[in-house]
């Protein structure tokens, strides 16, 4: 997969932020980092944005969409937001420190 040619503004729109969970932290042992991304973002756009913003070499991008669940809070119904996540696999020897800002 080749990275797409996109503008700097679009790169910052595509990558919303890192996912910091126990599972995402365990993936870092396998050179993988998870990010929340825009719903309309494509894999080549995500690849180009990660390579430009963090200065790393990306091996693969896997995406998944989550539907917003209906939850009840204090007897009232509410809907969680739908979203999209990207699991980015980095080349050997590459790493991203998500605790620092861009």
| Exposure letters 27-42 (e unless 16+ CB within 10 A, then b) | beeebbbbbebbeebe
Predicted confidence at residue 5, as pLDDT, reads 82
Class of domain 8-90: alpha beta
pLDDT of residue 101: 56
Q: What is the pLDDT along the chain (102 residues), one digit of tens a residue?
A: 777 788 889 999 999 999 999 999 899 889 999 999 999 999 999 999 999 999 999 999 999 999 999 999 999 999 999 999 999 999 998 888 876 655
Contact (CB, 8 A) for 98 and 18: yes
Q: What is the Cα–Cα distance from 7 to 67, expressed in whole angstroms? A: 28
Cα–Cα dist 100/16, whole Å? 14
What pLDDT, on a 0 to 100 scale, did the predictor assign at position 95? Answer: 85
- What are the structural domain ranges in the chain? 8-90
Stated pTM of the model: 0.85
Classify residue 73 as left (phi > 0), alpha (psi -120 to 50) or beta: beta
């Amino acid at each position: 997969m080749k990275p797409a040619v996109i503008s700097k503004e679009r790169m910052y729109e595509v990558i919303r932020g890192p996912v910091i969970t126990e599972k995402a932290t365990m993936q870092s042992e396998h050179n993988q980092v998870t990010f929340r991304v825009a719903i309309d973002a494509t894999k080549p756009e995500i690849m180009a944005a990660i390579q430009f913003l963090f200065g790393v070499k990306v091996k693969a991008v896997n995406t998944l969409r989550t539907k917003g669940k209906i939850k009840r809070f204090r007897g009232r119904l509410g809907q969680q937001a739908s979203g999209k996540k990207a699991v980015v696999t980095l080349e050997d020897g590459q790493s991203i420190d998500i605790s620092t800002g861009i």
